[in-house]
Amino acid sequence: MIEHGPLLERMLEGEFICAVTDEHSFNKLQNENLREDLNHFLRPLNRRIAKSEDGSVFFLAYHELTEPARHQLSQQFGVTIQSLLPMLEWMQLVQEALGRDGALTAGDTIKLQEFSLKVEDNQSLRQRLAMLSADKVFKSTSDQLDMQIKQVFKRIRELGYLHQPHRDRQFYIVTGKIEHLIELVRFIKDEENLPLDEDSPEQGDMF
């Protein structure tokens, strides 16, 4: 158990473990026996190891949903929902700027300079980025493109959706946590019966 101490500690601190952030630990966690052992240890803390539906990321969930646990979940859910639209808009922005037609996936690399060059050349992307960076999730007050981009990416890294392998090199890798976010979006869509499958949403843009 001792060898897993550092991993447990990181997970307790709220870290999401995926193949991008820590491949070694991620592979270890694939082992169900180990997960059971760790869960045994986590039990008194009312925690258990959970994974996203597609198995691409591990994190800690509450073992029992006590009143304080629910309270905490409520609060956290509120924060997630608040940052949902900005996150989705950021994903679209990156996707469009870098000319990709699939949504961002764990393991995708984003070079900040490339992104910055693309946005600089495109007035509409520039405006969208400026709007996005001023959102209360990112809170950038700068009107300089460079600073806005840095602030946005820094925040998203703090939120755990991006991994920066080298402190001083400006490139990021999308983490497995983004899969978790997508799962949440899909869940909300199904749960709230949102009419997202038809081709109607674009109509709204006409107003």
Partner 1 sequence: MNQHSSLFQLGRERLALIGKHSEVLMQGYLNGHIDESALSEAALNKLIDARILWRPDEQAPLSLRPVMGELIASLTRDERKRQINADVAEHLDQIHTRVQSLQAARAKGDYAAAEHHMQLLTERVHDMSGQFGDAIESLWHRLNTEFGFVSSLDDKIREIELAQKQLRRLLDGFGLIDFDQLIALAGSDGSLRKLLVSQLQARISEHSGSLLEVQKRLVLLMARFRQQQERALLVSRMSAFLRQHPNFQIGDYPNRSKVPAVVNQAKEIRAAAAIALDRDSDSSTLAQLARAIPRPEQDVTPTENAEPFAAPEQQLAERVQKKLVEDVENFFIAVIDEGNPVSALDYMNRNDLEWDPEIWLFQVIAEYEGMASDEKRSFRMEKVTRLASRFNQVRIIEDVHLGLRFFGEFQATG
Residues 132/88, Cβ–Cβ less than 8 Å? no
Q: Does 61 bind partner 1 (CB under 8 A)?
A: yes
Q: Does 77 bind partner 1 (CB under 8 A)?
A: yes
Q: In whole angstroms, how close is the CB of 117 to partner 1 at the nearest point?
A: 19
Q: Considering only residues 27, 30, 66, 74, which one is a binding residue for partner 1 as defined by CB under 8 A?
A: 74
Phi, psi of 79 (to 5 degrees): -65, -45
Only segment of 45-53, 110-118, 145-153, 166-174 that touches partner 1 (CB under 8 A):
45-53
Q: Does 89 bind partner 1 (CB under 8 A)?
A: yes
Q: In whole angstroms, how close is the CB of 187 to partner 1 at the nearest point?
A: 5
Q: Which two tokens stand for residue 70?
A: 């629910």
Q: Does 201 bind partner 1 (CB under 8 A)?
A: yes
Say how far apart CA 47 and CA 54 lie, in whole Å.
Answer: 21
Q: For the stretch 90-124, what's the b/e string if a residue is b when 16 or more beta carbons lie within 10 angstroms of its beta carbon?
A: bbebbebbbeeeeebebebebebeebbebbeeeee
Binding-site size for partner 1 (CB under 8 A) equals: 53
Q: Which two tokens stand for residue 163?
A: 């991994």
Q: Considering only residues 12, 117, 131, 147, which one is a binding residue for partner 1 as defined by CB under 8 A?
A: 12
Q: Does 128 bind partner 1 (CB under 8 A)?
A: no
Q: Does 44 bind partner 1 (CB under 8 A)?
A: no
User: For the chain, how many residues are written?
Assistant: 207
Q: Which of 98, 13, 59, 74 is nearest to 180 (CA)?
A: 59
Q: Does 79 bind partner 1 (CB under 8 A)?
A: no
Q: Considering only residues 39, 95, 122, 142, which one is a binding residue for partner 1 as defined by CB under 8 A?
A: 95
3-class DSSP string for 17-53? EECCCCHHHHHHHCCHHHHHHHHHHHHHHCEEEEECC
Q: In whole angstroms, how close is the CB of 163 to partner 1 at the nearest point?
A: 18
Type and span of the H or E element at 110: strand 109-111
Contacts to partner 1 by CB under 8 A: 9, 12-14, 45-47, 50, 52-53, 59-62, 65, 69-70, 72-74, 76-77, 81, 84-85, 88-89, 91-92, 95, 99, 101-103, 105, 136, 180, 182-189, 191-192, 194, 196, 201-202, 204-205
